[in-house]
Amino acid sequence: MIQQLINKIQKTEAPIVVGLDPMLDYIPEQIKEKAYKEKGETLAGAAEAIWQFNKGIVDATYDLIPAVKPQIAMYEQFGIEGLIAYKKTIEYCKEKGLVVIGDIKRGDIGSTSAAYAVGHLGKVTVGKNTYKGFDEDFATVNPYLGSDGVKPFIDVCKEEKKGLFILVKTSNPSSGEIQDKLVDGKPLYELIGEMVSEWGREHMGDSYSYIGAVVGATYPEMGKILRKLMPKTYILVPGYGAQGGKAEDLVDYFNKDGLGAIVSSSRGIIAAYKAKNYEKFGPEAYADASRQAVIDMREEINTALVKGGIK
Ligand SMILES: O=c1ccn([C@@H]2O[C@H](COP(=O)(O)O)[C@@H](O)[C@H]2O)c(=O)[nH]1
C-alpha cells in the first residue's frame, strides 16, 4: 500500500491528504436541513448530514489528491450511526481510487491492540466466514504503550499489505509536556523516531517502509531532525493551515527525492467556504471552495519544495 500511496502522490503531484473531520458546525445549512427532514434531528440525521457533506467534498476533490484521512472521533461522537457514516465514507473513497488513512490513534496492551488491528486493517473470523471491519488502508497508532501495543498492528499490515503512521511528535501545543522530555539525554520523540525507523527497516516497501510516522507541521525544527533520523520512513504531517503550519516550514520533512512526506489539512479544506479567501463560493458551493483550497495548497507546497531545492 505504501507504494500505491507514493504512485498516487507522484501522479497527482500532490503530497496532500484531505482530512475528513466533519463537525456539524462546518456543514452548510442546506445539507443539515435535508438530512434532518429525512431522519429527524437525531443521531441518524447527523450521520446522514456528515455523509452527504463528505460525499460532496470527495466528488469535488478526488481527481486532485492521493488520499483522505477521516478522523474517527468526528464520527464516533454520533455513536453507531456515526460509525456507519465512517464506514460508508471509507468505502466511497476507495471506490473513487483514494488511499484511506484512518486517523484512529489506537494502541493498547497486546491483545487489545490485536483486536483494533483486525477491526481496522485486517479480517475477523466468525465461524466459517471472514469479514473486513472498517478496512482502511493505513491507520494512525499511538506507540506510548510500547512495542507490544504496536507489534499487532505491524503483523496485520504485513499480512494485509497495509500501513501505519505512528505518532512520534504531535502537532498540538502541549505535545512537548511529554514528548520533549529528555530520556537518557535525548528527547522522547527522538527515541520513538528511532524505534519507528527500526520497525520500518524490517518492513520495507520498494523504497520506503510501510511503517510511517506522524510529525506535526507546527514543529519544523523537530521535523528536520526526525527526517534525518528516519530516512526511509514516510511522514504524515498534520497541523497545516488551521493549526498554523505553513508550506515553507515543511521543506525539511521531505527527502531529496521529493518524497517522504504527505501533508494533511482538514478544516482548511473542508470548511474552506467559511474562510475569507473563499467566501465568494458561499455555502451552496462549499465543495467547489474545497476544490480550490486543495489546488492552492498543492501550489503552495510545490512552490516551497522548488524554492527549497527539493523538486
Ligand atoms: O499530531 C497530530 C496528529 C493528528 N492530528 C489530526 O489531524 C487533524 C488536524 O485537523 P486540522 O483541521 O487540519 O487542524 C485532526 O483530525 C487531528 O486529530 C493532528 O492535528 N495532529
pLDDT at 309 over 90: no
**Other Cβ atoms closer than 10 A to 308:** 14
Ligand 1 centroid, distance to 24 Cα (angstroms) = 17
What is the chain's percent helix, strand, coil content, to nearest 5? 50, 20, 30
Ligand 1 centroid, distance to 53 Cα (angstroms) = 19
CATH topology for 2-307? TIM Barrel (3.20.20)
Q: Which of 97, 103, 62, 89 has the alpha carbon at shortest distance from 269?
A: 62
Ligand 1 centroid, distance to 61 Cα (angstroms) = 19
Smallest CA separation from ligand 1 atom 16, residue? 71
pLDDT confidence tier of residue 239, bands split at 50, 70 and 90: very high
Smallest CA separation from ligand 1 atom 7, residue? 238
pLDDT at 311 over 80: no
| 275: three-class secondary structure by DSSP | coil
The per-residue pLDDT of the chain, averaged, comes to: 97
Length of the chain: 311
**Other Cβ atoms closer than 10 A to 165:** 29
- Which atom in ligand 1 lies closest to the alpha carbon of residue 175? 1
Helix (H) or strand (E) holding 135: none
Query: 132-175 pLDDT, tens per residue?
Result: 999 999 999 999 999 999 999 999 999 999 999 999 999 999 99
Query: 26-35 pLDDT, tens per residue?
Result: 999 999 999 9
- Which atom in ligand 1 lies closest to the alpha carbon of residue 216? 1
Ligand 1 centroid, distance to 217 Cα (angstroms) = 10
According to DSSP, the β-strands at 163-169 and 138-141 are parallel
- Give, for ligand 1, the residue of 26, 218, 264 to mutate: max count of ligand atoms closer than 8 Å to Cβ: 264
pLDDT confidence tier of residue 13, bands split at 50, 70 and 90: very high
- How far is residue 240's CA from residue 57's CA, in Å, rounded to a whole number? 18
Cβ 143 vs Cβ 181: under 8 Å: no
Residues flanking ligand 1, CB < 6 Å: 19, 21, 71, 103, 170-171, 214, 216, 238-239, 241-243, 264-268
Ligand 1 centroid, distance to 228 Cα (angstroms) = 23
Share of the chain above pLDDT 90, in %: 97
Smallest CA separation from ligand 1 atom 21, residue? 171
According to DSSP, the β-strands at 186-187 and 182-183 are antiparallel
pLDDT at 310 over 90: no
Beta bridge partner(s), residue 70? 20
Q: How far apart are the first and last CA of the chain?
A: 24
Q: Cα 297 to chain center, whole Å?
A: 16
Smallest CA separation from ligand 1 atom 5, residue? 238
Rounded mean pLDDT of 278-297? 97
pLDDT at 244 over 90: yes
Ligand 1 centroid, distance to 239 Cα (angstroms) = 6
Q: Which of 159-168, 201-210, 216-225 has the lowest mean pLDDT?
A: 201-210
pLDDT at residue 205, rounded to an integer? 86
What residues are annotated to the active site?
105
- Which atom in ligand 1 lies closest to the alpha carbon of residue 71? 16
Helix (H) or strand (E) holding 146: none
Report H helices in the chain: 2-12, 29-39, 43-61, 73-76, 79-95, 110-121, 147-160, 176-179, 188-201, 220-229, 267-270, 286-307
- How far is residue 104's CA from residue 75's CA, in Å, rounded to a whole number? 11
Amino acid letter, 278: Y
- Which atom in ligand 1 lies closest to the alpha carbon of residue 21? 16
Smallest CA separation from ligand 1 atom 19, residue? 238
